[in-house]
Amino acid sequence: MTGLFSDVFLSALLFGAVTAAVPLLLAGLGEQMSEKAGVLNIGIEGMMIAGAYFGFLAAFSFESLWLGFAGGAAAGAVVSLVMVLLCVRLGLNQIVIGIGLTLGLEGLTALLHHVQFSRTYPRLPAADIASIPLLADIPIVGPAFFQHNPVVYLAVLLVPVMVFIYRRTQLGLNLQAAGDKPAALDIAGVDVVRTRTVAVLTTGALAGLGGAYLANVGAGIFVPFITNGAGFLGIVLAMLARGRPLWVLFGALLFGVSLSLTTALQVAGINIPTDVIQMIPFLAVMIMLVIFGRQSSLPAALGIPYERGAR
């Protein structure tokens, strides 16, 4: 029986933290882009679970993890398309549609899974790991951070990509204008609806990818409601990160640690009931919101559909 702060425990904890953080990171980055552009995407949980199920289905049916990831991203994007059509184009209430999408997809994926897999509950083989040479040999930190499925590295690389987009491209300016003062963007000759569409579709794809990772790599299996609030945690991350992709990464790692405590503690031989452990991430969220909530700055036009020349 090894104790707390042993190498094995720390390694397991950090490894688990990264694995748990990736879906949160992807969801958070995606939601951040939507919110920057002025769309409050409550349906992100639905996009994640759609990505989880269809990603699992694709990986299982085609026996390819990469097709699984692609399928998950595509599924998430398709769901976000509904949001684009109804909320960005027609201007329906973003919260009502978001709740509808989340509930509907949670039910639909559970239904489909039951019909297809409830007797067999198939598992996926363990995901391939890509070790980064040299770095993977560092004690404790090596196996924890540098022996992951390639998607993990992709997700982390996404952070500087987002920073680049926001700070150094016209697209970044367009997104910020769409969220802060869409009328000004319209007058400058840029299509506000198209800008927001890009943002929401990206969110859907990233969330779907995150869900696919959760099912295919994190768990190796799909069970109904597997995301268990990961999408909403992504919204929290986006809210607290105040427009900075790097902070989404830190927040995701933080929550990842709290999520991975269960397995890590079991490895360390300490037995705290699962339900207590499960409270920790949400407790952490509430504490963060209490401390930092009032400073979460959200774009001015968030949640308000854009109508040109509205009377």
Q: How far is the CB of 241 from another protein (least distance, A)?
A: 13
CB-wise, 65 or 259, nearer to another protein? 259
Q: How far is the CB of 284 from another protein (least distance, A)?
A: 10
Q: How far is the CB of 266 from another protein (least distance, A)?
A: 17
Structure tokens at 58: 């694709």
- Do β-strands 147-148 and 130-131 pair in parallel, antiparallel, or remain unpaired? antiparallel
CB-based contacts of 160-165 (< 8 A; 24+ apart in sequence): 160/245, 162/29, 162/32, 162/33, 162/245, 163/244, 163/245, 163/246
Contact 216, 56 (CB under 8 A): yes
Q: Which is nearer to another protein, 87 or 151 (CB)?
A: 87
Nearer residue to another protein within complex by CB, 156 or 289 = 289
Q: Report the nearest approach of another protein to the CB of residue 294 (Å).
A: 4
For another protein, give the closer residue by CB, 64 or 118.
118
SS (H, E, C) the chain: CCCCCCHHHHHHHHHHHHHHHHHHHHHHHHHHHHHHCCCCCCCHHHHHHHHHHHHHHHHHHHCCHHHHHHHHHHHHHHHHHHHHHHHHHCCCCHHHHHHHHHHHHHHHHHHHHHHHHCCCCCCCCCCCCEECCCHHHCCCHHHHHCEECHHHHHHHHHHHHHHHHHHHCHHHHHHHHHHHCHHHHHHCCCCHHHHHHHHHHHHHHHHHHHHHHHHHHHHCCCCCCCCCCHHHHHHHHHHHHCCCHHHHHHHHHHHHHHHHHHHHHHHCCCCCCHHHHHHHHHHHHHHHHHHHHHHCCCCCCCCCCCCCCCC
- Least separation in angstroms between residue 256's CB and another protein is 16
- Between residues 143 and 256, which has the closer beta carbon with respect to another protein? 256
Query: CB of residue 6 vs another protein: minimum separation in angstroms?
Result: 27
Which lies closer to another protein via its Cβ, residue 228 or residue 266?
228
In the complex, what is the shortest distance from the CB of residue 230 to another protein, in angstroms, rounded to a whole number?
11
Nearer to another protein, 209 or 239 (CB): 239
Output the smallest distance, CB 133 to another protein, in A: 34
161 versus 276: smaller Cβ distance to another protein: 276
